[in-house]
Amino acid sequence: MSAESAQTNAVESPDLIRLSGVRARGRHGVFPAERRDGQWFTVDAVLEVSTRAAGRSDRLDDTVDYGVAAELINARITGEPVDLIERLAELIAGDLLALSGVQAVEVTVHKPQAPITVAFSDVTLTIRRQL
């Protein structure tokens, strides 16, 4: 097999855009105090994309604008409350998958102020979704 045909047959790995620590106050949770008082949520997201075209053109419209992705995450954290971080993660994943060029996402929701009665540093949920 020639080097050219090996390249043609090789599966291309996706490029990854990582957003770490998008932080905002939200009112998500099942308890009345969580809805009333709110709490801090942090989201990390990994977007699987191809950056080949942008790497050649040096044009923002040939890639995924991570500023837009961060704004979508922030809007979900600060927006309409949901009971579970599972639902919040699912909504964020759907928003990010709707961005042109995103093939798959991994979303981690951090809830460090979760109403737990023992000492802890964080509660996280990570989901992966793809088109």
Q: Which residues are catalytic?
A: 111
- The rounded distance, in Å, linking the Cα atoms of 87 and 52 is 33
The answer to whether 49 and 17 have CB atoms below 8 angstroms apart is yes
Measure the CA–CA gap between 41 and 24, rounded to whole angstroms: 6
Q: Which residues face 117 on adjacent strands? A: none
What one-character-per-residue DSSP string does 54-100 give? HHHH--GGGS--HHHHHHHHHHHHHSS--S-HHHHHHHHHHHHHTST
